[in-house]
Amino acid sequence: MFNNTIPSIYSPTSTQAPSDTVAITESKVVRKSDLPRSRPAQFDELPGLPRRYIASEKGSELCRSISDASALSGSDRRLVVVSNRLIDPNKPAAGGLAVALGEMMHNTDGLWFGWSGKTTDASQVSSVRTESFGRTTLAQIDLSKKLHHGYYEGFSNSVLWPVFHEKLKFADLNPEYFKDYETVNNLLASKLGPMLRENDIVWVHDYHLIPFAQQLRAHGCQHRIGFFNHIPLPPPDVIKQIPEHRKLMEGLMSYDLVGMQRPEDVENFRSYAEKEGLVQRLNERDSGAFRRKPSIQAFPIGIDVESLRALQPSSESEAILDDIRNESGRRKLMVGVDRLDYSKGIPKRLMAFRELLETRPDLRNHVTLVQIAAPTRQTVPAYAKLSDKTRKLVDEINDQFGAIDWKPVMYFNESVDRNALPEIYRMSRVGVVTPVADGMNLVAKEYIAAQNPENPGVLVLSTGAGSASQLSDSLLVPPKDRTAIAKAYVRALEMPRYQRQDRHVKLMRNVKTEDLRWWRETYLNALSPSQASAESKSNAIAEADPESGPS
């Protein structure tokens, strides 16, 4: 369980990274040797970045702004989380963000703000509705159908999602989408501003809300504001496929801290900023209201191992569990659990399974692939197509190889109750996680955490997953290589127990150490006001002695 407060913020040891780390606060996080190319920068190392924190000079009194970050040392500090969707207190959490933030917010004195999940016909903006969720207040607004379409289905999920996952063929670069995206960010910021208290720390999540801090700053807010990008950030040439990329990426400069999943994402941002002269452009415009000194660092997200292992299936998942239990008594199981999203590589995974059955007839009738695929974003055309394609592949494989008493692919096109997942993972000899691109992928970590250490299963993981560098003791495969994936399936199915145990011990070490709490604490430590005062002190020294400043 999480602590009731935000312990990281109060930690006296939270300020400086050891010298062999690039970022974050603990040496185990990101070692230089893990890095792909040259050292990913904290953003304050870029030439031309203003050395001093520049406070807002403009802005209305919409926000109760603060002028001195070091004043944030009182005990009345609240964590304000902003995300597109909030948790539904009446439903089990599904989806990476809800799972990652749900329990933390339940036990934290905070405010969680975002879209309600409801659209209206009215052009007028709804008022903010609040309800309690443990110790947190959930605050939500409805959006008009038109605005929501451009912001969510449009720019967020038909531009940013495909481009950031390097699936450009699914991008729809309609210029109207960006306008609605900006409007919604502005609208949300204008609603949150008056609710902020002096000592609040604001943590904004994900690609739907990149310009959010810029909009809050325009209203005069000077709070510490952090951003965490849950999905990959691609190389500059790919980002530049978005017509509005300059405006978009400038939005990140209004945060105090920008968190990414992997060092590669940090490197891509640094490289983009350098190539595009991002810092210089902002300096030339002398836009004091928006200029900050953002730090950009990698914080790979983890899971709460104990909470996951403690989950017990409820009666509502008995039917699906009985089917899978029955199958596991007869054959070896392989399992995939995903949202039905083109980034997750589900068709290639199925094709690799077909290749396995073609090339290893002896395994027919001895292995079953359980694929659980939750419908998602069904109003975006690319998702409806994927849904048809996946169903067709499943049917083809079952028609080609199935027998009276064997269905090679058990396909559940639904979101399964989270409580049932650990048992499903544990029953499966192979966990199959093969995204083409994925910020992190929590299913990979959940699969490891749920295993019985005496007789663990094997994780087949694609290098497209952000978790691949942490989980390098899994069987790593290239996401687009069907034959390599099929071979890894065979290796996993035939791996002797001692090897499975050996790999599992190593994988578990990482999953347990770099867990959800560690992610949250390292992030909030870096965002904490004490970090701000450390930064501002080091700037003061740098300015007094030009020789000691960043080059």
Catalytically annotated residues: 230, 438
Task: Name the token pair of 197.
Answer: 């208290």
Q: Looking only at residues 64 through 93 of this chain, which bind ligand ADQ when binding is defined by CB under 6 A?
A: none
By C-beta, is 272 or 425 nearer to ligand ADQ? 425
- Residue from 141, 143, 346, 372 touching ligand ADQ (CB under 6 A): that is 372
By C-beta, is 100 or 273 nearer to ligand ADQ? 100
Q: Does 101 bind ligand ADQ (CB under 6 A)?
A: no
Q: Does 324 bind ligand ADQ (CB under 6 A)?
A: no
Nearest to 303 by CA among 492, 123, 479, 518: 518
Q: Looking only at residues 394 through 433 of this chain, which bind ligand ADQ when binding is defined by CB under 6 A?
A: 415-416, 418, 421
Q: Which residue has the tokens 């939005």?
A: 251
Least Å from the CB of residue 209 to ligand ADQ: 14
By C-beta, is 408 or 466 nearer to ligand ADQ? 466
- Residue from 104, 301, 324, 488 touching ligand ADQ (CB under 6 A): that is 301
What's CA 132's distance to the chain center, in Å?
25
Among the residue ranges 94-102, 148-156, 183-191, 501-509, the one whose residues contact ligand ADQ (CB under 6 A): 94-102
Three-state SS at 268: helix
How deeply is 468 buried, as exposed, middle or buried, from its count of CB atoms within 10 A (0-12, 13-18, 19+)?
buried
Per-residue binder mask for ligand ADQ (CB under 6 A), 497-536, x = binder: ----------------------------------------
Q: Does 338 bind ligand ADQ (CB under 6 A)?
A: yes
CB-based closest residue to ligand ADQ: 96
Q: Does 369 bind ligand ADQ (CB under 6 A)?
A: no
Q: Does 442 bind ligand ADQ (CB under 6 A)?
A: yes
Q: Does 446 bind ligand ADQ (CB under 6 A)?
A: yes
Interstrand relation of 430-433 and 458-462 (parallel, antiparallel or unpaired): parallel
Full DSSP string of 487-536 = HHHHHHHH--HHHHHHHHHHHHHHHHHS-HHHHHHHHHHHHSHHHHHHHH
**CA-to-CA distance for 62 and 259, rounded, in angstroms?**
27
**CA-to-CA distance for 373 and 384, rounded, in angstroms?**
13
Full DSSP string of 210-265 = TTHHHHHHHTT--SEEEEE--S----HHHHTTSTTHHHHHHGGGG-SEEEESSHHH
Are 278 and 48 spatial neighbours (Cβ–Cβ below 8 Å)?
A: no
Among the residue ranges 21-29, 317-325, 380-388, 441-449, the one whose residues contact ligand ADQ (CB under 6 A): 441-449
Least Å from the CB of residue 371 to ligand ADQ: 9
- Residue from 337, 459, 507, 527 touching ligand ADQ (CB under 6 A): that is 337
Three-state SS at 119: strand
Q: Does 305 bind ligand ADQ (CB under 6 A)?
A: no
Amino acid at 71: A
Q: Does 462 bind ligand ADQ (CB under 6 A)?
A: no
Q: Which residue has the tokens 């903006």?
A: 125
Q: Which residues bind ligand ADQ (CB under 6 A)?
A: 94-97, 99-100, 230-231, 301, 337-339, 372-374, 415-416, 418, 421, 438-443, 446
